[in-house]
A = this chain, B = another copy of it.
């Protein structure tokens, strides 16, 4: 299908066209330039919500419950699930996707998994461009779900308009939470599995740690909420607070700053991909030749990098 038609169909919300455009992003298609130029004027409307948390807190169930709640308010929702890059994850993630299956037949819900890949980051390098596709396709809310340990929760906070950090009782003590760097990034904190022992303790610990943490957007005091995602308990309140944060972000200028950050990452990702392709890092062997010489100590790495850049 020619690009203008594909873009037109995606803007009408046709799932197949949206999926096709995201595949073009992932495949680094030569059509991407045309696609992005066509989509850009139609972006800027979607509320991008990042959902992150350690394995086991119930991210997929929470995302599914959030989608149910947003749908009941008539909003169109897209979910972008960023999987750790593992050849094994296709199988292991089946459980998650099955749980999302409640929404599989709803034409106003779009669900897509993306692998994070290469060493260029915990999020997929293609995330900002995929968000651009979903935004232009008219989704009211785009949920980006990531495993939140290490780098990815910092990245998601830079990418999303609103970041939801999920926790659960029994997932490790407060120091572990601080280690994972979640205290600076959440706009909302949600204690899931709130019907389990220890939920109140997690809430108290988190609140006292949040009081100690230094925050950038100090005009926003992140609420700590409680849910039972399997029953939907507390999820309506999460949606209310998401909307409040969005309104605050718009008025305070925080939304604009985050969108600039997202654009910055997107531009840099495109430029770096272009450079890596020129260097043969994407699919050539120029870099491999240099690596062999460095590994055998025949060349130092700076001289190799010079040689690499000269080829571009």
Contact of A181 among B84, B295, B297, B309 (CB under 8 A): B84
Instruction: Check A119 for interface membership: any CB of B closer than 8 A.
Output: yes
Q: For chain A residues 112-166, which have a beta carbon within 8 Å of chain B? A: 116, 119-123, 128-129, 132, 146-147, 149-152, 154-155, 158
Quick one: copies of this chain in the complex?
A: 2
Q: Which 3 pairs, one residue from A and one from B, show the smallest C-beta to C-beta distance?
A: A86-B181, A264-B291, A263-B294
Q: How far is the CB of A57 from chain B (nearest CB, A)?
A: 10
Instruction: Check A247 for interface membership: any CB of B closer than 8 A.
Output: no
| Most chain B CB neighbours (cut-off 10 Å) among A116, A154, A178, A272 | A272
B122 touches A37 (CB 8 A): no
* Cα–Cα distance between A143 and B271 once the two chains are bound (Å): 34
In the complex, besides A40-B299, A270-B302, 8 extra interface pairs with C-beta distance below 8 angstroms are A86-B181, A86-B183, A88-B184, A88-B214, A122-B151, A147-B179, A150-B151, A264-B287
Contact of A40 with B85 at beta-carbon distance under 8 Å, contacts A271-B305, A305-B271 already known: no
As a 0/1 sequence over residues 201 to 217 of chain A, the CB contacts with chain B under 8 angstroms (1 = contact) are: 00000000000011000
Interface size, chain A (Cβ < 8 Å): 88
A179 touches B213 (CB 8 A): no
Q: How far is the CB of A165 from chain B (nearest CB, A)?
A: 13
A246 surroundings in chain B (CB, below 8 A):
none
Q: How far is the CB of A174 from chain B (nearest CB, A)?
A: 9
B263 touches A268 (CB 8 A): no
